Chain A
Amino acid sequence: MRAAGIDIGSRTVKFVVMENRDIVHEAIAYNSHDPISVARSLLSEHAFDRLTATGYGRHLISRTLGCDVATEIRAAAIGTAVMVPTGRTVIDIGGQDIKVISTGENGAVRRFEMNDKCAAGTGRFLEIMAAALSLSMPEFIQMAQTAAQPVRITSMCAVFAESEVVSQLARGCPRDELALGIHQAIAHRIAGMAQRIPLTETIVVCGGVARNTTLIRELTRVLGLPIVTPERAQLIPAIGAALLAGSF
């Protein structure tokens, strides 16, 4: 049987088709004002027997296509259980939210935390900060990685942090030090959330932001525990959804 998972996130839509536990197709597209069209074009020309939708648009897709739904939290836990079987804590950093999930055997959700109405520390926050420094995302990450020391950023509200960065630039702060300061501030914020639930190893970071090597380095330092970033970190919830669809 072929089972598919689709993860309708705020910034991107991820699609995976699996046969048993093997990925036979994967795709990522930017989301638009019309997530259904984005989903339809990702699904077209790919045969599968069952589909599970996850992500904030899951109900929308389920209403249109009549498929099952699972929350991103459950999907990320299930996906991680297969990709990193020793994973017991999943930190999923997406475009608009952060989730910290404590899992048991086979990806059962034990506890979870999710950020409140606030974008602090999410992918979107990082994009805004990179733009405030007039850097592309890879430049932003790279510069922060090699900075000698950080400039402390105190605000975690996207709007205030942006003006803080702008005024620091005006005072002549070097961009690489600001970039590092921003990464550290976010790492502290995420760690604060993560420490509310029992942090058990192995700690797995997934979601688009898992590719940000500077953030992972800083988060490792703040938590004082090693972090694993699986291959296809961004696809983990979609993989979890496909696994649920196929009951693999």
Chain B
Amino acid sequence: MNQVDYHPMWADLGLNLDTHDQLLAVLGKVYQDFFLSQPNRPKGMDYFNFVMSEVHGLRIKELIDARAAGRKVIGSFCLYVPEELILAVDGISVGLCAGAEFGTAKAEMFLPRTTCALIKSFFGFILEKVCPYIAASDMIVGENTCDGKKKSYEQFRKLVPNFFGMDLPQTKSDEGRNLLRSEYVRFARALESLSGRTITVDSLSQAIETVNAKRQAIHRLARLRSADPAPISGLDALLINQIYFYDDPIRFTQSVNALCDELEQRIAAGNGVFPKGHPRILVSGCPMAIPNWKLPWIVEQNGAVIVGEESCVGERGTRNLTSAHGDSIETLFDNLVDRYSRIDCAIFTPNSERIDHVDSMSSAYRADGVIHYALQFCTPYQMEAFQVEKTLEEQKLPVLRIDTDYSMEDVEPLRTRVEAFIERIRS
């Protein structure tokens, strides 16, 4: 696919070409081993393979072209940054990935070793000059979520152009909602002054419809995964959820729907990627950003299929729609706040909705067990893991708690745990 030489473009963006080539080489190899080698993949995955193969190529060129045409690119790290507002000023939203172990040594010049892999990763990427998305962004949004992110942004903001810090509540109280709303208004003002455009009822409702359509396509995909045999692997479904964050929303929605048409045919024909009756796993916990595919790969290599992700890269992020009803900006902002304050992220307290959601997803997708996935040093999710485990085990749903990071050094012990968990489910 890669006939075009993107090196001049990367050089213009100020990337370190040697290091960046190394990163792409690793990524290509892992993609080959984890994704392309899977048997009986749906044809509709071709589009996503293409997007992945062009993740630092064509997509970046599209961003650069769009900027040349006057559009703005906004990079962000968290679900609480409303994509609707970005689209309402005709901007482009990119979720920055931070899923690779890269530049850790440099990152640890700014961060304690006991920082989660995700934070280390986005520091590593900027310090090693290998992220074309950051380089192609007009604004980077950082939110006050966990302590790790909040405090690390104090240094990160000096490393990126045009950092916008967004405060977030920690409770779902009225005061919390008010804070969220005023921060969204402030963010909207910043977007307007960056883009020179005004957010209108029309542009915002249009943006809401666009993002809702994208979410609905993902809901459709999620429902199809409840079939036995599973029509698509968990790895492929995760990949789609990851690409959700940086692809063009309309093209993405069409591609997911086209894939779903194919999956419906597969289900009708009883055609799955694993045999019928294969143990089914729900993964719940920290976000898995590209290319963090370690755990799903281990699970699907060792006798189970993943049927859902209760994760920011997954259903926590896509579950709720924003109401597009309202004929004033105020109402539409209220709708946004309604929608976003329902995200059940572990930085909120209390957050019992999350456990209910894990539970309802397990039944909807007919999971035989739940793997709770937390990044090491991620206090919010590591803490909630105990409650998730206790509640679900009491309901006789097996739970495996895993704490890990991005390195491959613990693959063998993880494999043992996952295999033993699948043995437990089978027996």
| A224 vs B412: C-alpha distance when bound (angstroms) | 33
Q: Which A37-68 residues sit within 8 Å CB-CB of chain B? A: 56
The reply to whether B424 and A70 form a contact with Cβ atoms under 8 Å apart is no
Given contacts A71-B420, A73-B423, A109-B423, 15 further A-B contacts (CB under 8 A): A56-B412, A71-B416, A71-B419, A72-B420, A73-B416, A73-B420, A74-B420, A74-B424, A109-B424, A112-B417, A112-B424, A114-B413, A114-B416, A117-B409, A117-B410
CB distance from A10 to the nearest CB of B (A): 10
A116 on interface, CB distance cutoff 8 Å: yes
The reply to whether A110 and B424 form a contact with Cβ atoms under 8 Å apart is yes
B420 surroundings in chain A (CB, below 8 A): 71-74, 109, 112
B419 surroundings in chain A (CB, below 8 A): 71
| A140 vs B128: C-alpha distance when bound (angstroms) | 49
CB distance from B405 to the nearest CB of A (A): 9
Q: Which A91-139 residues sit within 8 Å CB-CB of chain B? A: 97, 108-112, 114, 116-117
| A110 vs B403: C-alpha distance when bound (angstroms) | 20
Q: Which B372-427 residues sit within 8 Å CB-CB of chain A? A: 393, 403, 409-410, 412-413, 416-417, 419-420, 423-424, 427
| A89 vs B52: C-alpha distance when bound (angstroms) | 47
| A111 vs B413: C-alpha distance when bound (angstroms) | 16
**What are 19 inter-chain pairs, A to B, with CB distance below 8 A?**
A56-B413, A71-B419, A71-B420, A72-B420, A73-B416, A73-B420, A73-B423, A74-B423, A74-B424, A108-B427, A109-B424, A109-B427, A110-B424, A112-B420, A112-B424, A114-B417, A116-B403, A117-B409, A117-B410
CB distance from B206 to the nearest CB of A (A): 48
| A133 vs B412: C-alpha distance when bound (angstroms) | 32
The reply to whether B417 and A111 form a contact with Cβ atoms under 8 Å apart is no
Nearest residue, chain A, Cβ from B412: A56
Return the contact of A72 from the options B403, B416, B427 (Cβ within 8 A).
B416
A108 surroundings in chain B (CB, below 8 A): 424, 427
A116 surroundings in chain B (CB, below 8 A): 403, 410
Smallest CB-CB A-B distances: 8 pairs: A73-B420, A71-B420, A109-B424, A74-B423, A71-B419, A108-B427, A117-B410, A71-B416
Contact pattern, B 234-275, Cβ under 8 Å of A = 1, otherwise 0: 000000000000000000000000000000000000000000
B427 surroundings in chain A (CB, below 8 A): 74, 108-109
Interface size of B by CB at 8 A reads 13
What is B's interface to A at a CB cutoff of 8 Å? 393, 403, 409-410, 412-413, 416-417, 419-420, 423-424, 427
B416 surroundings in chain A (CB, below 8 A): 56, 71-73, 114
| A74 vs B419: C-alpha distance when bound (angstroms) | 9
B403 surroundings in chain A (CB, below 8 A): 116
The reply to whether A97 and B393 form a contact with Cβ atoms under 8 Å apart is no
| A110 vs B420: C-alpha distance when bound (angstroms) | 10
The reply to whether B423 and A111 form a contact with Cβ atoms under 8 Å apart is no
| A55 vs B29: C-alpha distance when bound (angstroms) | 29
A70 surroundings in chain B (CB, below 8 A): 423
| A56 vs B415: C-alpha distance when bound (angstroms) | 9
CB distance from B145 to the nearest CB of A (A): 25
The reply to whether A111 and B412 form a contact with Cβ atoms under 8 Å apart is no
CB distance from B409 to the nearest CB of A (A): 7
| A72 vs B416: C-alpha distance when bound (angstroms) | 8
Please indicate which of the listed interface residues A71, A73, A97, A116 has the most CB atoms of chain B within 10 Å of its own CB: A71
| A71 vs B426: C-alpha distance when bound (angstroms) | 13
CB distance from A103 to the nearest CB of B (A): 10
Please indicate which of the listed interface residues B412, B417, B423 has the most CB atoms of chain A within 10 Å of its own CB: B423
The reply to whether A97 and B413 form a contact with Cβ atoms under 8 Å apart is yes
Nearest residue, chain B, Cβ from A113: B401
| A70 vs B423: C-alpha distance when bound (angstroms) | 8
Nearest residue, chain B, Cβ from A104: B427
A117 surroundings in chain B (CB, below 8 A): 409-410, 413
CB distance from B267 to the nearest CB of A (A): 32
Nearest residue, chain B, Cβ from A73: B420
| A112 vs B417: C-alpha distance when bound (angstroms) | 9
B410 surroundings in chain A (CB, below 8 A): 116-117
The reply to whether A111 and B393 form a contact with Cβ atoms under 8 Å apart is yes
Nearest residue, chain A, Cβ from B386: A196
| A112 vs B416: C-alpha distance when bound (angstroms) | 11
The reply to whether B409 and A71 form a contact with Cβ atoms under 8 Å apart is no
B413 surroundings in chain A (CB, below 8 A): 56, 97, 114, 117
Q: Which A129-186 residues sit within 8 Å CB-CB of chain B? A: none
CB distance from B421 to the nearest CB of A (A): 8
A114 surroundings in chain B (CB, below 8 A): 413, 416-417
| A117 vs B403: C-alpha distance when bound (angstroms) | 9
CB distance from A218 to the nearest CB of B (A): 26
Nearest residue, chain B, Cβ from A115: B413
Nearest residue, chain B, Cβ from A56: B412
| A174 vs B14: C-alpha distance when bound (angstroms) | 61
Nearest residue, chain B, Cβ from A107: B427
CB distance from A206 to the nearest CB of B (A): 15
A56 surroundings in chain B (CB, below 8 A): 412-413, 416
| A51 vs B387: C-alpha distance when bound (angstroms) | 40
A111 surroundings in chain B (CB, below 8 A): 393
CB distance from B147 to the nearest CB of A (A): 22
CB distance from B392 to the nearest CB of A (A): 12
CB distance from B2 to the nearest CB of A (A): 34
B417 surroundings in chain A (CB, below 8 A): 112, 114
CB distance from B14 to the nearest CB of A (A): 36
A109 surroundings in chain B (CB, below 8 A): 420, 423-424, 427
Nearest residue, chain A, Cβ from B393: A111
| A24 vs B414: C-alpha distance when bound (angstroms) | 34
| A21 vs B413: C-alpha distance when bound (angstroms) | 30
| A204 vs B412: C-alpha distance when bound (angstroms) | 25
CB distance from B70 to the nearest CB of A (A): 50
| A111 vs B424: C-alpha distance when bound (angstroms) | 8
| A240 vs B318: C-alpha distance when bound (angstroms) | 45
